[in-house]
Structure 1
Amino acid sequence: MDYRGRFAPSPTGLLHFGSLVAALGSWLRAREAGGRWLLRMEDIDPPREVPGAAAAILAALPAFGFTADEPVLHQSQRQAAYDAAFARLRAIDAVFPCWCSRSELAAMGELHRDGRCVAPPDPRREPAWRLRAPDVEIAFDDIVQGPQRQNLRESAGDFVIRRVEGLYSYQLACVVDDAHQGITEVVRGCDLLDSTPRQIHLQRLLDLPTPRYLHLPLALDGAGHKLSKSAQAWPVDPADPLPALRRALAFLGQPVPAEAADAPTLLAAALSRFDPALVPKRGGCFAG
């Protein structure tokens, strides 16, 4: 099967160093394989989005030498596909409505693992919908991080598929769109490593293909926090892309070309020496 990779930022701010690392890692893998590199804007959470961020990210990427091989997919335009996947999950009784409030869940002191809502139905408000997490172990081999195993019920519990406001979860939208775009390998930050078993389970329930996975080390600040959530997550400068690209290559353990006149020249030189075996393992894989 021809390689198809993707970079899927969320428009919660401008392009920053952590996002640049993910873009670079996914681009190098796609180009190394002679495949296609796609862009997906994960704009399905309006309360968290920064106005203008999506357009700014898409405008910045070409300055760093990244041009998608197909039109950008916007998740905000994919409601019908998510509705269909949700209907399928309801039809096979894989999800259930849940009226548990956050305070009630906090009082339980653990994950929701009942396979049903422990609160009485409340006709005055809409429920969230959760996926029943079975007591099964999901295993997969990450290309960089190695063999992974997770008991879905113990580690994830009954996780939310559709929120009270009607917004679909990252887990569902990601699975549906990876299949829609024909993604053969997911390259992303290590903070999403523990989301992968949930997504594999959803793929199986929806009869969708499971891509390969490669989780990159996560860019953290000095206190060990995910850079995108940190005050140190300054945006990278599209007007001066080479310093940030060189730092991103070094962060991924790759040789850094000494001389380059522009971003495409630097990327071409980096691609000729790219070695996935040099990518560091485990960095920030479970950062908050």
Structure 2
Amino acid sequence: MENAFPLSPVYRGRFAPSPTGPLHFGSLVTAVGSYLEAKSRDGEWLVRIENLDMAREIPGASEEILNTLHLLGMEWDGSVVYQERRQDAYQAALRALEKQDLIYPCSCSRKEIADSSVLGIEGPVYPGTCRDRKHEPEFSGAWRLCTNNDLIEFEDAVQGIRQQRLQRDIGDFVIRRADGVFAYQLAVVVDDAEQGITHVVRGGDLLNSTPRQIHLQKLLGYSIPSYMHLPVVVNPWGEKLSKQTQAAPVDTSHPVLQLVKAIRFLGQTPPPEVSESSLRSFWIWAIENWSREAIPKNMSFMF
């Protein structure tokens, strides 16, 4: 398929938070890592609000996240993109896959899948029960994408060479849920392509999603960006920081201290005087001294 969205010659990264609560330290680490990787390469840094599932969105959270980024001195390029406003683009991608006979309707329950599946890297592998199901005009279930066992390999800038065989490790995966909400895997691929994202810097919890996204990129004729997965911040119980684990909001009354903590988590070694500098001076030092080689390869650790 012809490439509809060739990669930009300029480095273009992005930060894509979900508005399920205020920015916490875990999401700050991802924001800072993606920002420094972009700015140290004289690149652009975009912001996208990933609010596909409106039922999970906390009113006012998007504005609060953007305000926090501003108070931390992180200025984005271009306009903020909101996924809730991009349903037509996702629907067009779904139609393109349907024309290639690559998707099919599925009405299997989670229990049915669990009862008839082997375990893969993220739980039960979908066994393809509905693969031969005919399309029904009034169908209201989920839509799955066909996978195969071709080796998908990519080199992550932090984690190194990664390999996956989707049919064996994941199975045919959902790209639109039964409630009509488009799945993250489809939306993120469409958004990254249309925004011309050349480099994706995000948390290591999404590392196993990357082969699914590369599979979709190939099927839709999109360019494949470079990937970098950062270590995930966890609490003392090994849980990823999130609204569900009562992660505290970033304290914007002392922005430089928060930023210094974030870059130290990412393996950077700022001298003591950086903690006492102005916001502008912090960013000058951080951009000039950013070292992606210093980022820990741990998938997650506590801070």
Please give the range of the TM-score, normalised by the shorter of the 2 chains. over 0.9
- Residue 273 of structure 1 pairs with residue 284 of structure 2: no
Q: Among 154, 166, 182, which residue is 2:180 paired with?
A: 166
Change (3 A) 1:257 1:232: farther
Match of 2:73 in 1: 65
Q: Among 29, 33, 44, which residue is 2:37 paired with?
A: 29
Q: Among 190, 193, 197, which residue is 1:183 paired with?
A: 197
Unaligned runs of 5+ in 1: none
Match of 1:154 in 2: 168
Q: Secondary structure at the match of 1:255?
A: coil
Greater displacement, 237-246 / 183-192: 237-246
- Residue 256 of structure 1 pairs with residue 270 of structure 2: yes
Greater displacement, 251-260 / 206-215: 251-260
Q: Secondary structure at the match of 2:205?
A: helix
CA contact (8 A) 1:99 1:117 kept: no
Distance in 2 (alpha carbons) for counterparts of 1:119 and 1:4:
41
| 1:121 CA drift (Å) | 8.9
- Residue 93 of structure 1 pairs with residue 101 of structure 2: yes
Match of 2:208 in 1: 194
- Residue 13 of structure 1 pairs with residue 21 of structure 2: yes
| Deviation sequence 1:44-84 (CA, Å, 0-9, x none) | 11122111111110111011111101110111111111010
CA contact (8 A) 1:221 1:230 kept: no
CA contact (8 A) 1:115 1:158 kept: no
Q: Secondary structure at the match of 2:47?
A: strand
| Deviation sequence 1:80-106 (CA, Å, 0-9, x none) | 110100000111011100011122222
CA contact (8 A) 2:20 2:243 kept: no
CA contact (8 A) 1:190 1:283 kept: yes
Distance in 2 (alpha carbons) for counterparts of 1:190 and 1:169:
19
TM-score under structure 2 length normalisation: 0.89
| 1:120 CA drift (Å) | 9.9
Change (3 A) 1:98 1:89: same
Alignment of 1:178-257 (within 5 A): 178-228=192-242, 231-257=245-271
Distance in 1 (alpha carbons) for counterparts of 2:95 and 2:133:
23
Which residue type is aligned with residue 22 of structure 1?
A: T
Unaligned runs of 5+ in 2: 1-8, 118-123
Change (3 A) 1:282 1:155: farther
Which residue type is aligned with residue 95 of structure 2?
A: A
Which residue type is aligned with residue 12 of structure 2?
A: R
Change (3 A) 1:254 1:141: same
CA contact (8 A) 2:13 2:46 kept: yes
Greater displacement, 124-133 / 61-70: 124-133
Which residue type is aligned with residue 273 of structure 1?
A: N
CA contact (8 A) 1:81 1:176 kept: yes
Which residue type is aligned with residue 211 of structure 1?
A: P
CA contact (8 A) 2:113 2:127 kept: no
Q: Among 118, 133, 140, which residue is 2:154 paired with?
A: 140
Change (3 A) 1:121 1:179: closer
Q: Secondary structure at the match of 2:162?
A: strand
Change (3 A) 1:121 1:205: closer
Change (3 A) 1:231 1:76: same
- Considering only aligned residues, what root-mean-square deviation do their CA atoms show, in Å? 2.0
| 1:113 CA drift (Å) | 2.9
Which residue type is aligned with residue 55 of structure 2?
A: P
| Deviation sequence 1:130-150 (CA, Å, 0-9, x none) | 011111211000011100001
TM-score under structure 1 length normalisation: 0.94
Match of 2:57 in 1: 49
Q: Report percent identity of matched pairs.
A: 47
